[in-house]
Amino acid sequence: MGAFPAFPPDAKTHVLNAGGVVMRVVIEGEGPDVVFVPGGDQTAEAYSELFARLSDRFRCLSYDPRGAGQTRSPPAPWTMADYAKDCAAVIDAFCDGSAVVCGLSLGGLITQQVAIDFPHKVKAAIPMGTAARIDGFTRDWMQAEIDLRRDGITLPDYFLAPHYAAFAFPAKALHDPKLWERIKPAYTERFANRSPEDLIDQWQACLDFDCREGLKTCPVPMHVIGFSEDIQTAPALCKVVSDLAPKGVFHEIPGLGHVSMSRHRPDAVAAKVREILDTVTCE
């Protein structure tokens, strides 16, 4: 889990068994509950830098999803509805009936599905770097990653950071020598020990996902965050979500890539999330 900055020692770690899915849950701070859902290949630590900036006023929760970290679950295939049930179980176990749900990438898809399937548990949804259905370049890229592993091909360690970081950060970030010194070892570690089966199972759930019809009648306020330099989920994909949701609002943050919330510009992402939280938790 060293691929992301660690949580501080005072963050509380719990184990939740929900219907045979044993999840590691991390909680920090006091205030209104906000559940942060990790993206593909991510553990709860993906949000450590947002926790550090938001836990002064909010009770921040995150967990390892199926296919990552210490969480253990029944064998795949997994659907987005399965992931949504896991998130709802976290809300039931640790929150006072409902919470704001925020997620990036796979976590953004899960955030939408939780709002659709369990609207009474979601005060507001903040999907980031998301899509109602993945198509175009992103679909072809993700399918290629899945097929490569199904063909038994393993990417060498020296290729991991140059490959995956290009999909996570904007060009200006990648060409900052000091930042690259931090990104390169982190992204090598993150993907070097990644189970091919877990990647396939998580990413396939993303490609099977299509919530366009469900969004049309979703009553939950849907604050969608897009990043202007996001290669994986361009702002146009994100905006489809806010356009379909009856209470959808689109926010675009300039100069950021898909995973800029970690190491690159966490202040900018945290500021936008705080702005939204200040609105939805005061209503």
> All domains of the chain, ordered by start, with CATH?
12-280 (3.40.50.1820)
pLDDT at 283 (0 to 100): 58
pLDDT at 22 (0 to 100): 94
Tokens of 218: 């979703």
What CA–CA distance (Å, rounded) separates 188 from 63? 22
What CA–CA distance (Å, rounded) separates 43 from 255? 25
When mean pLDDT is compared over 35-44, 67-76, 125-134, the highest value belongs to 125-134
- For 65-83, what is the mean pLDDT? 91
Beta-strand pair 12-18/21-28 = antiparallel
How many CB atoms are closer than 10 A to CB 267?
Answer: 12
pLDDT at 2 (0 to 100): 46
Closest CA to 43 of 115, 137, 139, 107: 107
Convert the pLDDT of each residue in 85-104 to its tens digit: 999 999 999 998 999 999 99
On the question of pLDDT at 281 being above 80, the answer is: no
Closest CA to 18 of 67, 103, 91, 77: 91
Convert the pLDDT of each residue in 225-255 to its tens digit: 999 999 999 999 999 999 999 999 999 999 9
Mapped onto helix, strand or coil, the DSSP state of residue 17 is: strand
Which pTM was predicted? 0.95
List, in sequence order, every beta strand (DSSP E) within the chain: 12-18, 21-28, 33-37, 59-63, 99-104, 122-128, 222-227, 248-253
Q: How far is CA 75 from CA 38, 78, 95, in A?
A: 19, 8, 28
Q: What percent of the chain has pLDDT over 90?
A: 86
Q: How far is CA 113 from CA 96, 163, 242, in A?
A: 20, 30, 14
Beta-strand pair 59-63/33-37 = parallel
What CA–CA distance (Å, rounded) separates 226 from 195? 29
